[in-house]
Structures are given as C-alpha cells and as structure tokens.
Amino acid sequence: MTTQHAEEAQQAGEHAADAAHGAEEGFNAGEVIIEHVSNSSLDHPIVHLPHIAGIDFSVTKHVMMMWLVAGFLFLVITMATRAYLKQERRIPTGFMNGLEWLVQSIRDSIVLPNVGAKFVNTWTPLMLTLFVFILACNVVGLIPVFETLGMIDRFVLGNSPESESLINSVLHGGTTATANYNVTAALATITFFSIMIAGTMAHGFIKHWKNLVPSGLAKPVYALLIPIELMGMFVKPFALTMRLAANMTGGHIAILSILSLVFLFAEIFASAAVGIGVGFTLVLPLAVGISALEIIVVLVQAYVFTLLTSVFIGMAINVHH
C-alpha cells in the first residue's frame, strides 16, 4: 500500500518535473508569432549580397515575395493582353474578361469620380498597378505556401530542420510583403510624389504650392494654416503606410495567436490530446472565421490604398477653396 502510494507520488513528481522542464524550453507564442509576421532576419537571407555604401543588399523573404508577385503579375497580365490583341475579333474571353472588368471598374468607380474626366487616363495606370500589386501581395500572404513545403520536407522527405537546404532558408520570416513597413512606405512615397506631379501638371509648379492654402484670408490665419498644410502633406502618406502594413500584420497576428492556443493548452495540460481537442472545438472555427475576415480585409485594404491615393491626387487637381 505504502509502496504503491510512494510510486504514485514519484510518478506525479516526475510528471511535474517534466511539465516544468517543458515550460522552460516550451512553446513561446510571442516569438513564433513575431517570426511569422516579420521579415526574415539578416542572418538568414535567401541570397547573400555584398554591402554597398553601408547598406546590406541581401535578398530577404519579403524582397523575394515582392519580386515573385511582380514577376507573376507582369507575366500573366502581359500574356493575357498580348493574346487578346492577337485575336482577329476582339472579344474578351475567360481571364481577359475579368481583367477588363477590373480595369473598367477601377477607372469608373475609383479614379473618375475623384480625379475628374480631364486626367482620368493619366492616373488610371498608376492606380491599377497599385491595386493589383497590393492585392496580390496581400493574398499571397494568406496562403501558407512555404509552411506547407516545409511540412512536406520535414515529415514526408524526412530532412532535418537544421540542414542547409533551400526550403529551410525560405522558411524564415513572413510571406506578406505588404506587412513590412518599408514596402508600404515605398508605395506611399509613390503617392507622395504623384500628388505633387498631379498638382504641377494641372496648375503649374508655383500655382500648385499656392493651392495648398486658400487665398484671400487674413495674414495671421496663414501663419497657422501653412504649417498645418505642410504637415498634412507628410501625414497623408504616413497614414497610408501605417494603415496597410498594420492591417496586414494585425490580421496575421490574430490568426497566429488563436492557432497558438493549441500548443499552449497542450503544454499546460501536458497532453497532446487536450491540444488536439481544443484545436478542433475552439481554435479551428475561430481561425476559419478570422481567415474569412482576412479575405475581406485583404480586398478592402487594396481598395482603400487605391481610393485614398486617387482622392489625394484629385484634391491636388480639383482645388476647392
């Protein structure tokens, strides 16, 4: 009786020790989430490139994703358009139909009402490029391509996670290039200069800067108004930068924190069955719901970036003072 009791106590003690040991090297949700939303670190670039003028030009995950998306879009859209132009009777079919619908709806529902009829053909190409690129970058981030490849590599082909293969080198970092503040800052810089170019094209260089503030006000008002308008010039692209990147990062963080509940529960109760049970009953429905929400967010953010860019360009062209 006593020996049995002692054995049980010993076993319980071992379990507790195991659990404590697990907690020490256990699952760190924050680290995993940051790893999956941030760019791959400069210690693990995909292609090593030399430093030029103190800047590391190594190709990281986000750069690779951006190039892949840009190349894919260039190939697909150019090929579709070329094939369409070669037709004898110009009737769009299949993919070309969708493309024409996209071009027309962006021109007529985003650019035309904001920019105006005079400059609509000047600015539609830029808006289309922004929309398609941002949308494609966002959508690619939602598809776990590399994670699936890594899983096949680990469990089907049986390679170790430490080996120096190509698949292991692309596993570091997140897939959504638009979740990187540098990418969205570059896109917003395009907007920043487009606003100036649009104003200059419509009114001339000097008139564009004069248009920033309404004319015919009392002098003290200008002392207040000019700094505000100059600040507004920089706030617009800054807000664009933050909005897109934060939305993309936020959605991924939400999905990943819910998915990490599986591992947290499995760790707390020290059994895989609890984790799997929580996964199927709680985590799976929630993650599916948030992923569905993410699909909407992905579309809306690409739309918003395009809409706001055309609104700002329209404000520089059609000055209401």
Partner 1 sequence: MDLYYIAGVALGLGLVVVGAGLGIGKFAAAAAESIARQPSAAAEITGAINLPLFLLEGVAILAEVFIFAVVLLK
In the complex with partner 1, the residue whose CB is nearer, 146 or 310, is 310
Cα angle vertex 101, ends 179, 91, to 5°? 135
Q: Please provide residue 176's backbone torsions phi and psi, each rounded to the nearest 5 degrees.
A: -85, 110
Whether 179 and 35 have beta carbons less than 8 Å apart is answered as no
Contacts of 11 (CB under 8 A, 6+ apart): none
In the complex with partner 1, the residue whose CB is nearer, 278 or 317, is 317
The contact pattern for partner 1, residues 243-282, with x = CB under 8 A and - = no contact, is: x--xx--x--------------------------------
In the complex with partner 1, the residue whose CB is nearer, 222 or 303, is 303
The contact pattern for partner 1, residues 75-114, with x = CB under 8 A and - = no contact, is: --------------------------------------x-
Applying CB under 8 A, what is the total number of residues that bind partner 1?
Answer: 11
Find the shortest distance in angstroms from Cβ 243 to partner 1.
4
Find the shortest distance in angstroms from Cβ 110 to partner 1.
10
Find the shortest distance in angstroms from Cβ 191 to partner 1.
14
Q: Note whether 203 binds partner 1 by CB under 8 A.
A: no
Q: Name the token pair of 150.
A: 């890594």
- The secondary structure of residue 47, as a DSSP letter, is B
Contacts of 260 (CB under 8 A, 6+ apart): 27, 29, 32, 33
Q: Note whether 308 binds partner 1 by CB under 8 A.
A: yes
Find the shortest distance in angstroms from Cβ 300 to partner 1.
8
Q: Is 220 exposed, middle or buried (0-12, 13-18, 19+ CB in 10 A)?
A: exposed
Whether 168 and 174 have beta carbons less than 8 Å apart is answered as no
Residue 84: name the closest of 98, 70, 68, 69 by CA. Answer: 98
Find the shortest distance in angstroms from Cβ 189 to partner 1.
17
Find the shortest distance in angstroms from Cβ 114 to partner 1.
9
Stretch that binds partner 1, among 11-19, 52-60, 134-142, 235-243 (CB under 8 A): 235-243
- The secondary structure of residue 55, as a DSSP letter, is E
Find the shortest distance in angstroms from Cβ 48 to partner 1.
27
Q: Name the token pair of 151.
A: 């899983």
The contact pattern for partner 1, residues 113-132, with x = CB under 8 A and - = no contact, is: x-------------------
In the complex with partner 1, the residue whose CB is nearer, 154 or 243, is 243
Residue 184's alpha-carbon distances to 28, 129, 187, 216, 267, in angstroms, are 29, 14, 5, 38, 38
Binding partner 1 by CB under 8 A: which of 167, 185, 225, 311?
311
CA atoms within 13 A on the CB side of 191: 30
Whether 165 and 215 have beta carbons less than 8 Å apart is answered as no
Find the shortest distance in angstroms from Cβ 130 to partner 1.
15
In the complex with partner 1, the residue whose CB is nearer, 40 or 306, is 306
Contact residues toward partner 1 (CB under 8 A) are 113, 239, 242-243, 246-247, 250, 304, 307-308, 311
